Amino acid sequence: MRIKEMASPPSDITYYESWDGPGSDDLEERLTPAHVQDVVEIFQTPLTGHYNWDYSSADGRIRKLYRLGKELNWNADMDVDWSRNFPKSEVPLDQKLNPFYDWEPFATLPDEEKLRFGWHNLAWMLAQFVHGEQGALLVASQLASCAPTYDAKLYAASQTFDEARHVEVFTRYLQEKIGIFYPVNKHLKSLLDKILSDPRWDLKFIGMQIIIEGLALAAFNTLKLTAQDPLLRQIIQLVVRDEARHVTFGVNYLEDFVQTLTEQEKEERAQFAYEACVVMRERLIAVEVFEEFGWDVEQAREKALASALMAQFRNLLFTRIIPNLKRIGLLTESVRPKFEALGILQFENLVDDGEVDWAELSRPLYDEVS
């Protein structure tokens, strides 16, 4: 194993031999230590940790979420049916969500290139999930150290394992079933950098548990409806169970804490939440795929942004975030007009994750997995 340090993330697409290509035996068996090169980027963080010397449970909700996390653990090797293969000759996503179907650079492509676009688009989407889940893994590990309360430390530790499992399962799907791996989107990377390097533990909660995890939960649920591969849908069902607990944890934990902040501190965090939402909207534009197909990136970006269908899709991804921001007290008067301008303030009165649906969160794992 070799470790290569870089000053920034790789920019090239990585290609793997997927299941229907040459050498289709198990990828892991074909790799040797000589093949593996860990490409790393160093980041510095002024993390302030907390010991907690009171080992009694102060919040029954958080402790119950922690217990559910232990009960509903799943194994990516044993609980996912990797023997299922979806034909590469079929488009992997429902084309109703393709904003380019009537756009000349796409419409004039040969059928095989349209098919290739479909697989690259899915690969890009799943790769961003992997990068986001790695960010969640790192943040959760930070929270185990810097969260001040005993219950939060226990839950953050359990979430760290959840996030590791998510990185594992999506990476394996990309490597073995698609064979294409895209680098991290610069907008997602900038938000992860901010969350990981900020010394304030509660800002890490807001950025990861409310914004990134909330958007991911909505995106996973949408992908579950549009993905054509039953294996991918099974994976998403498993991941969604975990993510729902994570978002609920963030809302319940922050709801009480935010009330202890000064008005200035609340405004700082409300502004950060707004800026994070702006960044995450841009993260939904697959500019790296546009570059791969030789399109004018700005024209393709404008086409995606102008699509009524994609605008609705992007906005719907915030249906969990906005009511949760309102619940914890960060939908302040100063940021409300800004969210209105984004077209997502309309979701503020939807059901938030503060009222815990214990029956739903407690459903046995195998009731849902198919």
Mind giving me the DSSP string for 180-218? Answer: EEPPPPHHHHHHHHHHHH-S-HHHHIIIIIIIIHHHHHH
- CA–CA distance, 128 with 64 (Å, rounded to integer): 30
- CA–CA distance, 209 with 328 (Å, rounded to integer): 12
Angle subtended by helix axes 60-71 and 150-173, to nearest 10? 30
CA 349 to chain centre: 24
Which backbone phi and psi does 290 adopt, to 5 degrees?
Answer: -60, -45
Average pLDDT, integer, range 354-368: 81
- CA–CA distance, 348 with 318 (Å, rounded to integer): 10
pLDDT tens per residue, range 293-305: 999 999 999 998 8
What are the CA-CA distances from residue 283 to residues 99, 194, 321 (Å)? 16, 15, 16
Read off the tokens for 139: 């943040």
For the domain spanning 2-367, the CATH number is: 1.10.620.20
- Supply the pLDDT for residue 24: 44
pLDDT tens per residue, range 321-330: 999 999 999 9
77-86, 129-138, 282-291: segment of lowest average pLDDT: 282-291
Cβ neighbourhood burial of 348 (10 Å; 0-12, 13-18, 19+) = middle
Virtual CA dihedral for 27, 126, 202, 244, nearest 10 degrees? -100
Sign of CA dihedral 161, 167, 170, 173: negative
Domain ranges of the chain: 2-367
- Supply the pLDDT for residue 294: 96
pLDDT tens per residue, range 330-352: 999 999 999 999 989 999 999 99
How many residues comprise the chain? 370
- Looking at the DSSP bridge assignments, the partners of residue 93 are 227
Sign of CA dihedral 312, 275, 324, 184: positive
Cβ neighbourhood burial of 234 (10 Å; 0-12, 13-18, 19+) = buried
- Supply the pLDDT for residue 55: 87
60-69, 104-113, 137-146, 354-363: segment of lowest average pLDDT: 354-363
- Supply the pLDDT for residue 96: 76
52-56, 114-118, 336-340: segment of lowest average pLDDT: 52-56
157-161, 281-285, 321-325, 361-365: segment of lowest average pLDDT: 281-285
pLDDT score of 47 more than 60: yes
pLDDT tens per residue, range 11-35: 899 999 765 544 444 555 555 555 5
Read off the tokens for 341: 């301008």
What are the CA-CA distances from residue 206 to residues 56, 72, 104, 329 (Å)? 25, 25, 41, 11
Pairing of the two strands 2-6 and 180-181: unpaired
Question: Nearest-CA neighbor of 313 among 351, 276, 352, 286?
Answer: 286
- For the chain, give the mean pLDDT: 90
Sign of CA dihedral 151, 135, 186, 91: negative
- Supply the pLDDT for residue 19: 53
- Supply the pLDDT for residue 27: 53
Under 8 Å CB-to-CB from 364, ≥6 apart: which residues? none
Virtual CA dihedral for 93, 94, 99, 104, nearest 10 degrees? 80
pLDDT tens per residue, range 177-208: 999 999 999 999 999 999 999 999 999 999 99
Sign of CA dihedral 205, 211, 212, 217: positive
| C-beta separation of 177 from 20 below 8 A | no
Read off the tokens for 27: 């990828």
Q: Which residues of 184-219 are buried (b: 16+ CB within 10 A; e: fewer)?
A: bbebbbebbebbbebebbbbbbbbbbbbbbbbbbbb
Model pTM greater than 0.85?
A: yes
% of the chain residues with pLDDT over 90: 68
- CA–CA distance, 368 with 370 (Å, rounded to integer): 6
